[in-house]
Amino acid sequence: MFNLAINYKNGEGTEKNLEKAFYWYQKAAENGNEKAMVNLANCYENGEGTEKNLEKAFYWYQKAAENDVKEAMFNLAINYKNGEGTEKNLEKAFYWYQKAAENDVKEAMFNLAINYEKWRRNRKKFRKSLLLVSKSSRKW
């Protein structure tokens, strides 16, 4: 199902059809395919193959993040930070940025470092900020 969705999305072996890609992402996601969950969330977030729906995008990012998909962890953090598809919650945003950073998502490391910098009066957090910036710069 997931591969079929990819084929429709990219027009590989068939005509490109975002509605059919969405349909097959949804089927695969409902059957537990974590990559399909993220792609389905992206479809909802961007209105690809379906109407834009930030609440449903949030739902599928959350399902994928709970299944340890690091990209979903980062996207979930952004949703919480900006209040997209859910209520704004900076504590939950921080939690998911941290989870994503622990899984080597460099953008999450950078965002955490910025937040830690704001709290540099707390030496422990500041040291962690420097470590994240250092680790992040090595990955770029």
Whole-number pLDDT of residue 129: 54
Residue 140's pLDDT band, with cuts at 50, 70 and 90, is very low
- In the chain the domains, ranked by start, together with CATH numbers, are 2-89 (1.25.40.10), 104-140 (no CATH)
Given a cut of 80, whether residue 120 has pLDDT beyond it is no
Contact 104, 73 (CB under 8 A): no
Task: Please indicate, yes or no, whether the overall pTM of this predicted structure exceeds 0.85.
Answer: no
CA–CA distance, 110 with 105 (Å, rounded to integer): 9
CA–CA distance, 6 with 8 (Å, rounded to integer): 5
Least confident of 32-36, 67-71, 97-101, 132-136: 132-136
Token pair belonging to 41: 């969330």
Contact 71, 37 (CB under 8 A): no
Given a cut of 90, whether residue 58 has pLDDT beyond it is yes
